[in-house]
Structure 1
Amino acid sequence: MKAIVMSDFGGPEVLVPREVDEPIARSGWVIVKVHAAALNWHDVLVRRGQYRSPLPHTPGADGAGVRVDTGEEVVILPSLYWGHRSAAPSPQFQILGDHTAGTYAEYVSVPEECLAPRPAGYSWEQAAALPLVGVTAYRALLTRAGLTSGESLLVIGAGGGVSTMALALSSAVGAQTFVTASTSEKLDKAQRAGAAGGVLHTDDNWPQLAKELSPNGAGFHVVLDPVGLWDRSVQTLRPGGRLVVLGANVAEQVTMNVRPFFFGQYSLFGTTMGGGEDFRDLMDLVSTGRVVPPAIAATYSLADAAAAHTELEAGGAFGKIVLRC
């Protein structure tokens, strides 16, 4: 079969198309013929060697395709070995494409429990783009922060896959969503996708500007920070608000004043990609038809994975970049 294989860690050029053996059937696992594989920033970190993947290695967390054994059209949850506690993953937890061959291939082998039917009305590209960002945003906003109808949400960094999915899920549950963005173009696209308003986080005083946009200027019930700016994001909360943190691609360390935090009665939630329970709840919500499918920024052939990674790292895309396999 055709697959993308890394023989070394490095830049996009290490993603090389090759012919490799198809996966072998094993108990409890299912072989899926991949129709589309969506890119995530996690894939970039795998490519750079952060997860110490075995070499040679095929990356890729997200995918959608057809079960070889039954012919069912499915999406793949890339959460492996989550464990039995919904509160947190087990020590064995890993993401598909970390140490297990991933979805940048014509076929992939995954645990049967990590499959769900392809949602009605979703293209292959949209279905492939749903699982990782979908379950991540669902766990962050609904499982962890408990976002409900009538509340307000601020999403830091409009344009990324998690951010655009957060907007879709927030709208689906009846919350009002605002965003920050790095460019006016991304801000405009977010508003066309349903955001009630937004500010550029390139402005030094963006926390104050964002807070002024919140209902009655009181601050937001929930702030989702997938980039690592939460020393500033916390300034946009209303008293008693909840800050959800799930990424650090902008900053890995923050310094905060403790007194304003506890006087504000704020809650801070750390989260990451969810497990099977989050996935099932996400798919139940998607099945209602209220969740807008993921925005697709660009589609590449499997052989052009290096070019797709180059576009992803450039940071200009609004929505997901997808490989057709």
Structure 2
Amino acid sequence: MKAITLNSNYSSKLLLTDVLERALEPGEAKVAIQAAALNHRDEWCRKGLYPNLKDGVVLGSDGSGIVEEVGDGVDLNWVGKEVIINPAINWGEDQKAQGKKFEILGMPRNGTLSEKVIVPADRLKIKPEHLSFEEAAALPLAGLTAFRALFYQGQVKPEDKVLITGFGGGVAQFAFQFALKAGAEVYASSSKTEKLKKATELGAKAVFNYTEEDWTEKAIQKSNGFDLVIDSAVGNTLNNLIDVVKPGGKIVFYGATRGNPTDLTARKVFWNQLKIMGTTMGSDQDFEHMIQFVQENKISPIIDQVFTFDEAEIAFDRMKEGKQLGKIILKL
């Protein structure tokens, strides 16, 4: 079967090739992939920045498809069902944090950028009816991360003032849509004019270009301070976020694309009673609640572009360069 694998012998680090299918083990299901989506995790694998990397592994954490076969001990009624795959495997029993055996589909085990994928059957959820396969494929990793950041860690409430930084990326667009549906007053930041325009069209109360030196002053003027900030950059932008959060407010970050901060205005943190929290993907409970929230509110992911497997390098480069507005989809 055709699949996109990691291969360090190529300049792109990607190889579209034929891989052998294996037999199902008890408790597993085989899904014929109809659409898959890229995440920055896939690019980090390509760059060699992820642990336990191994050539020949099929990349991809996000996918939707049709169950083709199930192993022993799995309900046969799954066969033929249209499903979405939860890529968070072995979270563990503690809702507060993942356990030591936690892993994400797509490295070190084969992922979704393939004609077919084998996963533990308990990772399957029925695809929300209002979503196409492409939209459903866009949802799992980013939607789960956004949901946990906003609801479990951020404890968002109706009428909270929420800032979503880096609008346009996968997690950010879901956090934005989820916050709106939760009744919050939502704001967005980006360095791209077209992304800020899209956020405004979707219902942002105000938007800010974080490359402007006075963006924090503008943000405070427009909002009078935020109750909650959802961020993926950290680095030395953290002090800017500390400046725009209300006393008693929260900053939740799910990535650190700008690295560690070299300086921290610690006095503002303790004096203003701020909470700074990290978050990752989420538990099975988070995934269940996320899917339910998406179904009830008829939320549809923003799709940037759909590429074929043959165009994988172009798709990866688009994500690497930050050009996407929404999720990048791959199909055979």
**Could you tell me the TM-score, scaled by structure 2's length?**
0.93
Quick check: 1:93 aligned with 2:102?
yes
What does 1:16-31 correspond to in 2, within 5 Å?
16-31=15-30
What does 1:155-304 correspond to in 2, within 5 Å?
155-214=164-223, 217=224, 219-228=225-234, 229-288=237-296, 290-304=297-311
Q: In the TM superposition, what whole-angstrom CA distance separates every residue of 1:83-104 from its partner, at most 9, and x where no partner exists?
A: 1111100111111112011111
What amino acid sits opposite 1:238 in the alignment? K
Say if 2:130 and 2:298, in contact at 8 Å, map to a contact too.
Answer: no
Which of 62, 73, 78 is the equivalent residue of 2:82?
73
What amino acid sits opposite 1:175 in the alignment? A
Aligned to 1:44: 43
Structure 1, unmatched stretches of 5+, are none
Say if 1:178 and 1:198, in contact at 8 Å, map to a contact too.
Answer: yes
Q: How far does residue 252 in structure 1 lie from its aligned partner after superposition?
A: 3.0
Aligned to 1:323: 330
Say if 1:6 and 1:58, in contact at 8 Å, map to a contact too.
Answer: yes
Aligned to 2:72: none
> In structure 1, how many angstroms separate the alpha carbons of the residues matched to 2:22 and 2:111?
11
Q: How far does residue 105 in structure 1 lie from its aligned partner after superposition?
A: 0.3
Q: How far does residue 324 in structure 1 lie from its aligned partner after superposition?
A: 1.1
Matched pairs, number: 320
> In structure 1, how many angstroms separate the alpha carbons of the residues matched to 2:21 and 2:49?
26
Which of 146, 149, 153 is the equivalent residue of 2:155?
146
Aligned to 1:102: 111
Say if 1:150 and 1:174, in contact at 8 Å, map to a contact too.
Answer: yes
Say if 1:16 and 1:306, in contact at 8 Å, map to a contact too.
Answer: no
Q: How far does residue 168 in structure 1 lie from its aligned partner after superposition?
A: 0.9
Runs of 4+ displaced beyond 3 Å: none
Q: How far does residue 196 in structure 1 lie from its aligned partner after superposition?
A: 1.6
Say if 2:6 and 2:54, in contact at 8 Å, map to a contact too.
Answer: no
Aligned to 2:56: 56
Q: How far does residue 169 in structure 1 lie from its aligned partner after superposition?
A: 0.5
Q: How far does residue 208 in structure 1 lie from its aligned partner after superposition?
A: 2.0
SS in 1 for 2:3: strand
Which of 120, 124, 128 is the equivalent residue of 2:129?
120
Q: How far does residue 10 in structure 1 lie from its aligned partner after superposition?
A: 7.4
Say if 1:139 and 1:278, in contact at 8 Å, map to a contact too.
Answer: yes
Q: In the TM superposition, what whole-angstrom CA distance separates every residue of 1:128-181 from its partner, at most 9, and x where no partner exists?
A: 000111100000000111001111100111110111111110111111110111
SS in 1 for 2:114: coil
Change (3 A) 1:136 1:9: farther
SS in 2 for 1:68: strand
RMSD: 1.4
Q: In the TM superposition, what whole-angstrom CA distance separates every residue of 1:196-252 from its partner, at most 9, and x where no partner exists?
A: 2111000122222212221xx2x0110011122322212111111011011111233
Structure 2, unmatched stretches of 5+, are 70-78
> In structure 2, how many angstroms separate the alpha carbons of the residues matched to 1:28 and 1:155?
39
Say if 1:10 and 1:48, in contact at 8 Å, map to a contact too.
Answer: no
**Could you tell me the TM-score, scaled by structure 1's length?**
0.95
What amino acid sits opposite 2:7 in the alignment? S
Q: How far does residue 254 in structure 1 lie from its aligned partner after superposition?
A: 4.4
> In structure 1, how many angstroms separate the alpha carbons of the residues matched to 2:31 and 2:90?
19
Change (3 A) 1:204 1:291: farther
What amino acid sits opposite 1:278 in the alignment? D
